[in-house]
Amino acid sequence: MECERLRELDAELALGVLPARERAEAVAHLDRCPDCREHVERLTAVGDGLLALLPGAEPPVGFESRVVRALDPVPTPKRRRHRPRLAAAAVAAALACGFGGWAIGTVVEAAPPPVTQRTDAGLREAALVSDGHEVGRIYTHAGDEGWVYMSVDLGGNGRGPVRCLLVHVDGSTVPVGSFPLKDGHGYWGAPATTDPATLTGARLTAPDGTLLATASFPTSH
């Protein structure tokens, strides 16, 4: 397929209504043609914009609890499979997306040893601060299925990678991973086993160790 032919099908492709065979040919063209790819990506905003105009509607009573029940993986042996699945999905995502912004799981190996009991302290939030200014927020969720998430805007300070370390009450630091920035801005989340009794804060550093931002979690009690 040539560019001219692709452009005839651009809208149907962007709206997802191209019949399978033409779609396959068009996608093959996009794989090797950055200009057409960008063009079609811009058109997909029209379809997304249309869907955003659809009015919300209240689902039937009981919907929420039915969904949550369906999402609950719980039996413990099953839960243990989560991490490897996350890791595999993360590799696929990183390959597909070209970078590891949401490559959850790639840092599991670096996570601290799991605590065996889930604690009740749950979710914690703190400001990421640089030179006295808030540059982002960090959230942690405690327990052996815990996670850490942050969003940060370091202004013009480049592309990263930014390294995240969790700081404990005894002054020790544990790396949880690193993530790239785009124009100084980035989001990142990863599984991380945290114990709110010992976790006191976080540090973001540049690859050369320069401190970029710090966070202090409010004390538990």
Partner 1 sequence: MPGMWRMGLSLGRVPDEALLTGLTTGDPELAVAFVRRFQRTVFGVALAVLGDPQLAEDIAQQTFERAWRHAQVYDPRRGSVRSWLTSIAHNLAIDAVRARRASPLDPQDLDALLGTVTETPERRALADDSAERVRRAVAELPREQARALVMAGIYGMTAREVADTEDIPLGTAKTRIRTGTLKVRALLEAAEKR
Q: Rule CB under 8 A: which of 5-64 touch partner 1? A: 8, 10-12, 14-19, 42-43, 45-60, 63-64
Contact window for partner 1 (CB under 8 A) among 85-93, 166-174, 197-205, 208-216 = 85-93
- Beta-ladder partners of 149: 139, 189
Intra-chain end-to-end CA distance of the chain, in Å: 65
In sequence order, what are the residues at sequence separation of 6 or more whose Cβ sits closer than 8 angstroms to the Cβ of residue 145?
79, 82, 118, 191
Give the residue, chosen from 27, 33, 149, 197, that forms a contact with partner 1 under the rule CB under 8 A. Answer: 149
The span from the CA of 92 to the CA of 148, in Å, is: 21
Contact window for partner 1 (CB under 8 A) among 4-12, 159-167, 169-177, 203-211 = 4-12
- Residue closer to partner 1 by CB (options 136, 212) is 136
Q: How far is the CB of 209 from partner 1 (least distance, A)?
A: 27
| Positive or negative torsion for Cα 192, 196, 198, 201 | positive
Q: How far is the CB of 197 from partner 1 (least distance, A)?
A: 13
Count of residues of this chain found to bind partner 1 when the rule CB under 8 A is applied: 72
Q: Rule CB under 8 A: which of 152-181 touch partner 1? A: none
- Beta-ladder partners of 199: 168
The span from the CA of 56 to the CA of 12, in Å, is: 26
125 binds partner 1 (CB under 8 A): yes
Q: How far is the CB of 192 from partner 1 (least distance, A)?
A: 10
Pair 162, 136: CB distance under 8 Å: no
Give the residue, chosen from 66, 81, 133, 159, that forms a contact with partner 1 under the rule CB under 8 A. Answer: 66
Q: How far is the CB of 208 from partner 1 (least distance, A)?
A: 26
The span from the CA of 111 to the CA of 176, in Å, is: 6
Q: Rule CB under 8 A: which of 91-120 touch partner 1? A: 92-93, 96-97, 101-105
β-pairing verdict for 147-153 and 133-141: antiparallel
The span from the CA of 101 to the CA of 86, in Å, is: 14
Give the residue, chosen from 112, 127, 151, 184, that forms a contact with partner 1 under the rule CB under 8 A. Answer: 151
Give the residue, chosen from 26, 30, 121, 164, that forms a contact with partner 1 under the rule CB under 8 A. Answer: 121
Coil/strand/helix, residue 145: coil
- Residue closer to partner 1 by CB (options 71, 113) is 71
Q: How far is the CB of 92 from partner 1 (least distance, A)?
A: 7
The span from the CA of 106 to the CA of 92, in Å, is: 11
